[in-house]
A and B are shown apart, each in its own frame.
Chain A
Amino acid sequence: QKEVEQNSGPLSVPEGAIASLNCTYSDRGSQSFFWYRQYSGKSPELIMFIYSNGDKEDGRFTAQLNKASQYVSLLIRDSQPSDSATYLCAVSNTGTASKLTFGTGTRLQVTL
């Protein structure tokens, strides 16, 4: 079983719709959760992080965490073509020297 799992996609949503990206993790000791966006040929860019159960909103982005279900998600409201990228979920356990364990990413395509 992979430590951090994401559907590889592509996830296709029309412009203006809500994109929902999901991630599950296996280590119950995980404490911090991160979403990165990576455009093709570029390095990852941090979008949000969350460490408490519930929702955290930042602009068009909302991260949701459910530690009991070992599930974290990212919602993108009013999706734009510029949101088309690969979204990486990453998980950290303070017992692992702050290393991040990455999922393989979900490719999002926002269509006109």
Chain B
Amino acid sequence: GAVVSQHPSRVICKSGTSVKIECRSLDFQATTMFWYRQFPKQSLMLMATSNEGSKATYEQGVEKDKFLINHASLTLSTLTVTSAHPEDSSFYICSARRSGGSGEQYFGPGTRLTVT
């Protein structure tokens, strides 16, 4: 149990375009999902906390108009990178917190974004 999927796993896009990444909890309900990014050889950086049915909470320094988050159901959250630039190239990883659990988060496999 506790499987989280992410789609796509890898995407290449041109500068100025938008990219949508989906995160799904497959076998449990997740009231809260999280979005992270990770640069090579660096630790995870939390971007935002996504709560079902409400607006996401963004970490300091993360532009909410650039990284649009929607958490429309208890099993799906999406991250849209708008007007992508090469510096947005990174590994984006979502996680889902099991409702009623002990606070543990289960991670999706990640999406590697390359902006050319």
**A residues with CB within 8 A of B:** 31-32, 34, 36, 42-46, 49, 51, 88, 90, 92, 94, 97-100, 102-105
Contact = CB atoms under 8 A, between A and B. Distances in A.
Of the candidates A44, A94, A97, the one having the most CB atoms from chain B within 10 angstroms of its own CB is A44
A43 B43 CA distance: 11
**Chain B interface: which size bin?**
10 to 19
Given A42-B110, A43-B110, A98 B44 contact: no
Given A43-B108, A43-B110, A99 B43 contact: no
B93 A100 contact: no
Given A43-B108, A97-B49, A99-B49, A92 B93 contact: no
B60 interface: no
Contacts of A104: 43
B61 interface: no
Nearest to B2: A46
Contacts, number: 52
B108 to A, nearest CB: 6
Given A98-B32, A99-B34, A102-B44, A46 B106 contact: yes
Interface stretch (B64-72, B75-83, B97-105): B97-105
Given A90-B105, A92-B103, 6 more contacts: A32-B103, A44-B107, A51-B102, A97-B49, A98-B103, A100-B34
Interface of B: 2, 32, 34, 43-44, 46, 49, 57, 93, 97, 102-110
Contact of B105 (A31, A42, A100, A103): A100
22 contacts: A31-B103, A32-B102, A34-B104, A42-B109, A42-B110, A43-B110, A44-B44, A44-B107, A45-B107, A46-B2, A46-B106, A49-B103, A94-B103, A97-B49, A98-B49, A98-B97, A98-B103, A99-B34, A100-B105, A102-B43, A102-B44, A103-B43
Nearest to A93: B103
Contacts of B32: 97-98
B106 to A, nearest CB: 6
Contacts of B107: 36, 43-46
